[in-house]
Structure 1
Amino acid sequence: MPDQRLPLPPFGIELIARLQSASPPWPIVICFGRDSWQRARQWQGNPTVWALICPSNSALIQYRWPVLGLMLIVDWQPDQAAGHDDVMALVKVLLGYGAERVAVWPSDVDFSQPAFDYDSGRLVGQRWA
């Protein structure tokens, strides 16, 4: 059971109120890394979505995350304070608070570009680059 004395993350009080409404938000986004406050406000512009903020890696265990049974997307903008290990630590904390699923969306990846190229002119073991 989480320590009820811990504060909620930024926008957590609003999330709890919205979850109790007739049309709760879905999905819930956790903004982490560079420009997280700005990105959260952008997400909240969509009436079906709500966003929380994890201000920094040090804040992971300083908050009580209201995510029990929820599907989450971590909108992650990598920076010096939010690297690969940090986002994995955040995912572990969210799962520890009972999140149903946590997907990580790295904001700096251009999904319109292929991750790999296939070159049939190369030798069999070297075709994927």
Structure 2
Amino acid sequence: MQLRHRKKLPPFGKELAEKLQSDNPPWLVIVCIGRDCWRRARHWQKNPSVWALVMPASESPLGFIWQVAALYILIDWDLGPTHKQIIHLVKVLLVAGAEQVTVRPCWVDINEPAFEYDASRPVNCRWVQIREQIMIYPGLKRRNGDVSA
């Protein structure tokens, strides 16, 4: 007999469930992942209009129940998780119904260029990405052309 792993809420998910039922639910949910994610989540939770969850980098986002339908999500990404892990998390959140997912790599200086021109490369490949950048992924409803609520 094989035991199936039961899905659970992510850290701080129970509190989010309660807040979503309140008269003043958060309009933004921050998912902290990577270095110092627990401290960062607690810092975000001081703002009454948002809520923060923790995504342990050592676990799969598929193991959690994400209560993010129709919510805007900010992934607060610090050192540790790979780009592949972040993209997997984005996909899971979009499938769970997130309205939009924004990925913010914390260690990046956004004042530095994200792309560099390399004249030695073929004409259609001369702009080369040289650092991570903030990325915004629209919800699946919008991506498919359905903008109805």
Q: What range describes the TM-score normalised by the shorter chain of this pair?
A: 0.7 to 0.9
Residues in 1 aligned to 2:9 and 2:53: alpha-carbon distance in whole angstroms: 9
Alpha carbons 1:29, 1:74 under 8 Å: kept: yes
Displacement after TM superposition at 1:10 (Å): 0.5
Counterpart of 1:59? Answer: 60
1:7–1:108: structure 2 CA closer, same or farther, 3 Å change rule?
same
The correspondence of residues 25-104 of structure 1 with structure 2, limited to 5 A, is: 25-79=26-80, 82-104=81-103
Task: Show CA shifts across 1:68-99 (max 9, x none).
Answer: 111100000131xx110000000011111111
Residues in 1 aligned to 2:69 and 2:116: alpha-carbon distance in whole angstroms: 40
Counterpart of 2:104? Answer: 105
1:87–1:117: structure 2 CA closer, same or farther, 3 Å change rule?
closer
Residues in 2 aligned to 1:114 and 1:33: alpha-carbon distance in whole angstroms: 24
Residues in 1 aligned to 2:69 and 2:87: alpha-carbon distance in whole angstroms: 18
Displacement after TM superposition at 1:116 (Å): 5.3
Q: Does 1:22 align with 2:23?
A: yes
TM-score (norm: length of structure 1): 0.80
Instruction: Note the aligned Cα RMSD (angstroms).
Output: 2.4
Counterpart of 2:136? Answer: none
1:57–1:102: structure 2 CA closer, same or farther, 3 Å change rule?
farther
Same amino acid, percent of matched pairs: 47
The correspondence of residues 6-21 of structure 1 with structure 2, limited to 5 A, is: 6-21=7-22
Alpha carbons 1:9, 1:63 under 8 Å: kept: yes
In structure 1, stretches of 5+ residues that fail to align are: 119-124
Displacement after TM superposition at 1:57 (Å): 4.6
Task: Show CA shifts across 1:46-80 (max 9, x none).
Answer: 1111001101252311111111111100000131x
Residues in 1 aligned to 2:40 and 2:105: alpha-carbon distance in whole angstroms: 13
Residues in 2 aligned to 1:84 and 1:94: alpha-carbon distance in whole angstroms: 15
Q: After the TM superposition, which of the residue ranges 56-65 and 91-100 deviates more from structure 2? A: 56-65
Which structure features the higher share of helix residues? Answer: 1
Aligned length: 118
TM-score (norm: length of structure 2): 0.70
